[in-house]
Structure 1
């Protein structure tokens, strides 16, 4: 009861909720992009298991986040991986799924994509929540628990919006490219050369977004040409 009556506890909890709302948006976009081509039942499974796996991953990341961020070239590799994921997600909705095993493999592929992307994109969320918790394990656990409904609700909403407005798919892929560009120049080895919030930092983020969309659109047009020629 003393904990619940503490002003510092409620301030920390409010900070954690706000951090989750702000920083979980890109994770929700990834889940929505990965699951959008699945049938409704599999969409729900992909969102549930993808989010569950991502939350478990965040528990591990919370323990080792500071050490991971200090490793050279880790964020560079992670950023490049995000660019690749963005291109793949921009094209995933174009193919028709077959029945049976192909649908099951599509579900597993979506969950894998969600997990890998969340591994790269959750570091900022984990560090922000850990900082707001300031060593309070109750706040830390609450922060992880709060992230679950935010990501599930956000990704479910994004799928509906993407279905109604297909241009959101391109904007979502651009967001992943933007985060990928930011992640690359945030690497320990590159950050002294391209400081955070500098012109070069935002230029790298913009370049990542353009690269993902341009590459994805090129692959889409080439696939369309191949189908037309067949």
Structure 2
């Protein structure tokens, strides 16, 4: 049960999961007043990493103000285990949310989260929200991956694959739109190699370039970069259409 009154903040990367959580929150009438994007350096246990620099374009298209947490705000990057690193990575986000809690006249009611299956991420976000006295809206949590993917496509989400690293995925997947045909191929790869059709195991990362919650699409000029069994798009230019 979530509090539908008061100010909400969307934890936002620009990828499909956080974008769906934002979209569903807006559908539910939650008063989303800020998007918060964390820009981690290198690999991250807590956050979606690639192309977070485009979150500002997405926020402009959505029409909600953006708060950006920069790498300099991370103080404990030398953590020696995954649990400690996850906790350390959460500290600057929690500090940003505390600032917003003080900024909103009626305080922070809750945060949206795009977690699907990661207990690691979800437990930390819920604990952080408890410390802030805020609710968590996580509409993807433990939902069927195929049904989620189809719901995103039915709603009109345009989802691009911007990073891939899994058996069965080659350079042709980079920049590809995640449509019905791609989903069918991912189901085959799931059966053959265990590839998660939503990329929950890090098999691929995405960027939402258009959707019903966006006034203008994000247009990209990019090149692909492939090394061995993994690669990503390298964005040369991005703009709102």
Which structure has more relative contact order (CA 8 Å, sep 6+)? It is 1
Q: What TM-score does the superposition give when structure 1 sets the normalisation length? A: 0.24
Q: What TM-score does the superposition give when structure 2 sets the normalisation length? A: 0.23
User: Which protein has the bigger helix share?
Assistant: 1
User: Which protein has the bigger strand share?
Assistant: 2
